[in-house]
Chains A and B, each alone.
Chain A
């Protein structure tokens, strides 16, 4: 049993609803996001297209971040999710360096959107975003998955471009639509697939 996400790039309109939902759900600090949407121009004139590519932690089968973590804070769970124990993280940032997907960020300060005075929302959310540790997407493990809910980005996607479930359930979709992983040559075997 391993969680997997499939993102249909034909459906994605780049509206950033997933980024906003993620930010609201996980209360990520200013300047940092667990989920984002990248825009890229592809092709050459006159055959030019602009595509939107949602990015998040790839929850790799063989994660580079787990191997380098010296404290054992980053672990690969049995359900396939790569999670961080914030109580164990020492803030060495080796995982950020090791991750080829830029999925992680380091919280260097404890400021909120309005400086040192945190809003009630920030006070609650930042308990899981302490200063001096690393954070990343974990498919909304504690706040949604544990309650039987889908990750916030999946639930909020206005074009239903995201599919979330067990890998076995999504394999047919991935194969039939020729889904691909990002940078497969690195051997990390991501659990996030993109449909062209």
Chain B
């Protein structure tokens, strides 16, 4: 039967948001936002600038690339109190503005902005790393996404990558602290991934179908990419270093950070690909 007609009688994965620009837009948002947040809180100046650029340029470029009419992007700001996407666009715009002024002193060799500017920019970054999860959760058509776990999962995933990159960049004392935070975040992330899959398996028929898809058709990216490469392997590397059992060399931490970045991408890849429509009839 024609694919377009099978929509009504079979479960069918969504295809509109399963292409590269959407996944990259979400991934850059999470990685950049996480790095910015962690760096702003711990005073890692290079991380602040890198996080800001990754978030603004990476997310911004792929966000535009994902639109059917990118030249009309300003219209996305029309409904900030009704649409999550519109709300997110406003937050993104404010982050660009306030983040720029927060980072500006760094270019002249002094420290980043402080006080209200710092707090407000951090709050905006926190919203940006979680809001992808919010707008997915608001999509009625796809039951697997209708979960409050998604924003938390997305947020923790972004923070994990942020601390991961931070520990690879930081000096000794801060690196040790970041390794410990990173190890805890990886454990929380593993727990959240487990909880989300459990939610899918015990929820509606559409969500159960998504769990099946995740654990069967997408088992490679899920087990290999997300769980193995994105969580367990970096947890092993970082955990041993955090416990002082290995030297925690910068090369190993760099490897852990790279793996965590892959994990961010695979998390979004499997969640978007496992989004299935339930049959209408």
Contacts and interface: CB of A to CB of B under 8 A. Distances in A.
A binds B: yes
Interface of A: 31-33, 36, 38-40, 53, 55, 64, 67-73, 88-94, 96-102, 106-108, 131-134, 182-183, 186, 188
A56 to B, nearest CB: 12
11 contacts: A40-B281, A70-B86, A71-B76, A89-B72, A90-B68, A90-B70, A91-B69, A93-B17, A97-B16, A134-B68, A182-B281
B7 A102 contact: yes
Contacts of B73: 90
A67 B68 contact: no
Interface string B1-41: 00011011100001011000000000000000000000000
Contacts of B77: 70
Interface residues of B, number: 37
Contacts of B281: 38, 40, 53, 182
Secondary structure type dominating chain B contacts = loop
Contacts of A134: 68
Which DSSP category, helix, strand, loop or mixed, fits chain A's interface?
Answer: loop
Interface of B: 4-5, 7-9, 14, 16-17, 66-70, 72-73, 75-79, 82-86, 89, 135, 138-142, 275, 277-278, 280-281
Nearest to A66: B82
A114 B95 CA distance: 46
A29 B141 CA distance: 24
Contacts of B139: 64, 68, 94, 97-98
A96 B77 CA distance: 19
B78 A71 contact: yes
Contacts of A94: 83, 85, 135, 139
B85 A92 contact: yes
Contacts of A102: 7-8, 277, 280
Given A64-B141, A71-B76, A100-B141, A106 B9 contact: no
B8 A70 contact: no
